[in-house]
Structure 1
Amino acid sequence: MFSLALTAELNGVTNLRPRDTEDSPFWYTFTVQCTSCRETHPKPVAVNRFENNEMSGSRGEANFVWKCKNCKRESTASIKLGPKPYEHAEPPTRQSIIEFDCRGLEFTAFAPEGEWLADAIDSGTKFEGIDCLGEGEWFDYDEKANEEVSIKDLKWEIRRA
């Protein structure tokens, strides 16, 4: 089991999470490496928790099924728990966002592409369409609280759970 952990400085917002529903699934984008031959896939791969793919030989299903071009082994990954909102903390703390079960592969890097959501701490304002986390920061204004809100210093880490 592995988890994707986040550490971020949230100012005025909490519950940072991807927009991830069955009607609008979030595509978690990773760099993937074969654990058998250590070959890294040349392009990022995307996984969503609502899509299941058949494994060869009728062995079941997984959210992501990949056959390494180098060693020809089939590997799988399934999202087991997630997404869990990242909550505001002072100082910022590392928190697990999703957990996944990888068999024969490792996710080595994460790209926070896609739409994210957050809630204002004081006013309850809902912020949608946060899509620039790949740049490492986001700024907006909370009209109800008359203050700037932001997300900065994002650090992503893939860890063994």
Structure 2
Amino acid sequence: MVKLKVMISMELEGVTEVVPAEEDFQYFFTVMCSNCRETHPNIISFNVKDEVEITGSRGHANFVWRCHNCKKENTASIIPTPPSKSISPTPYTTSGQWDTLISLDCRGLEFTKFHFVGKWKCRPDVQVEEEGEGEGEGGGRGKGNRNGKGKGKKQEFEVEFEDGRWDDYDDINGIPVGINDNKSEIRRA
């Protein structure tokens, strides 16, 4: 059994808290059999909600793969990332620094590369509030978020990486925003 951490690094411009957009986000990897060292020819994917039965066992895993070369069955599951007890991905907040996205329990296989595919989301570095329209209780003026999503909700950007980067413009804060220089490493936990 090998425990791995998927580490990511990005350059953030005007945004923070980069995280996969959906709870059932598909994670894409290049995978290698630990037994015969054969690398699977295709990129594979799985998500935290996948539950695949393990042959000859009562257990389940998020990903089960039989190596075409040595015929050994191998498994991987998303596990809580210390110090949290949650299997949810950790939001990326520090530009240019390595941080753990998810942790994996791998048996008979190793992931060699994480691919930035799928929909992600992030928030602006700064949340701007402006005076709301009309008067509130007691005749005072209320404050509301300019994003139009309702009181107390934070503005979010939907992110889909093209050629390893994402660029947009934050109309509310009046600044360009972006994510680039995406890097990933798979490290032993």
TM-score normalised over the length of structure 2: 0.78
Gap regions ≥5 residues in structure 1? none
Structure 2 distance, partners of 1:103, 1:59, is 15
> Is structure 2 residue 164 aligned with structure 1 residue 136?
yes
- Give 3-state SS (helix, strand or coil) of 1:122's partner: coil
TM-score normalised over the length of structure 1: 0.91
Match of 1:153 among 158, 181, 186: 181
Task: State how 1:1-161 maps to structure 2 within 5 Å.
Answer: 1-21=3-23, 25-81=24-80, 82-89=88-95, 92-123=96-127, 124-128=154-158, 130-132=159-161, 135-161=163-189
**Count of residue pairs the alignment pairs up:** 154
Which of the two has higher C-alpha Rg? 2
Gap regions ≥5 residues in structure 2? 81-87, 128-153
- Seq. identity, %: 45
Kindly provide the amino acid, as one letter, of the partner of residue 119 in structure 1: R
Structure 1 distance, partners of 2:20, 2:91, is 8
Structure 2 distance, partners of 1:59, 1:43, is 28
Deviation at 1:152, TM superposition (A): 1.3
- Give 3-state SS (helix, strand or coil) of 2:101's partner: strand
Deviation at 1:59, TM superposition (A): 3.7
CA RMSD of aligned residues (A): 1.2
